[in-house]
Amino acid sequence: MKKKILILSGGISKERAVSLDTGFQVAKELKKKYHVKLSEPDSKLSETIQKFKPHIIFNALHGQFGEDGYIQTIFESFRIPYTHSGVLASSIAMNKELSKKIFLRNKILTPKYFKYSFDKKDKDLIKFIEKKLKFPVVIKPINEGSSVDVFICQKSNILKKISLLKNYKNILIEKFIGGREIQVAIMGSKKLGAIELKPKRKFYDYKAKYSKKAKTEHIIPVDLSKKNYNKILQIAFDAHKLIGCRGVTRSDFKFYNNKFYLLEINTQPGMTKLSLVPEIAKHHGINFLDLIEWILKDATFNK
């Protein structure tokens, strides 16, 4: 009998469209060998799980209530193995403030930052930034992904840009790091590899990530010395282990002045046609079906 796989995609996050795409690509492949059901994590989720009785849940969700540990508690309560990271690692990795604190504690370089709270309006914000970080800076939500609501700001436009994020209680203001953009995939205990992105746009924003027309260049293998290549892979591996991640993760870096700055670690990396983990895997001889079957086999719950 074929194993039953429940693939969850869509959801309520701002990365809903990306997740639907991830779910679709994963379902298309897994259908070749498994009994697959592609579903939304809606109010009928418990009913869906009880009726379908999946052997494994493939979590193809991104962003809030998918990647942040909340939905993982539901999978835990059913005691059904699910893919990718567990409750705690998902929560920590999704929270850029918390994960950056952990990186810094463990001597992993990450851009200098501070948390800006909309409750405590800072009158001298510009002066403060000039003193602490210098312009340009990057403003970003603490719990989003796919570059949603990420902006590079100059002194002249920061107040206007910040006001666009006022629906978030808190945001991060980070020092802008120039240089190259490199991302690394970790697959369990395997340091899978790295890829460089050269966006034609101002930075690797939502369009640069998901629109073919934006023509972001993907460079693999990455042009780094062997020493630096090993170093960036090791940092991603250490971050994966430190946060307690499982399955496949993707860590986003900036490389500037011969230093790697870790921006974040993603516990539910995209699996769309333009996604980077499948591309890195392919370059290292692992095709898409092999990759997602490995993710399936790695699925578990907290026993």
DSSP state of 198: E
Q: Which stretch binds ligand ADP (CB under 6 A): 126-134, 169-177, 218-226, 228-236?
A: 169-177
Residue with tokens 């403060």: 128
H or E, element range at 281:
helix 276-283
Near ligand ADP in 77-106, by CB under 6 A: none
**Separation CA 61–CA 8 (nearest Å):** 6
Residues 104-133 that bind ligand ADP (CB under 6 A): 111
* Sign of the alpha-carbon torsion through 113, 173, 261, 277: positive
**Sole window of 2-10, 84-92, 141-149, 278-286 interacting with ligand ADP (rule: CB under 6 A):** 141-149
Catalytic residue among 113, 204, 206, 210: 210
270 is catalytic: yes
**Residue 252 touches Mg ion, criterion: CB under 5 A:** yes
Tell which one of 29, 40, 67, 252 touches ligand ADP (CB under 6 A).
Answer: 252
Report the residue from 49, 71, 165, 177 that binds ligand ADP according to the rule CB under 6 A: 177
Distance between first and last Cα of the chain: 25
Dig out the tokens for 242 from the structure. 């430190």
Cα distance between residue 48 and residue 57, in whole Å: 11
Q: How far is the CB of 79 from ligand ADP (least distance, A)?
A: 30
Tokens of 54: 């999946």
Binding mask 186-225 for ligand ADP (x = CB under 6 A): -----------------xx---------------------
Instruction: Name the catalytic one among 9, 15, 193, 229.
Output: 15
CB 169 within 8 A of CB 118: yes
- For the annotated catalytic residues, the residue numbers are 15, 146, 210, 250, 252, 264, 266, 270
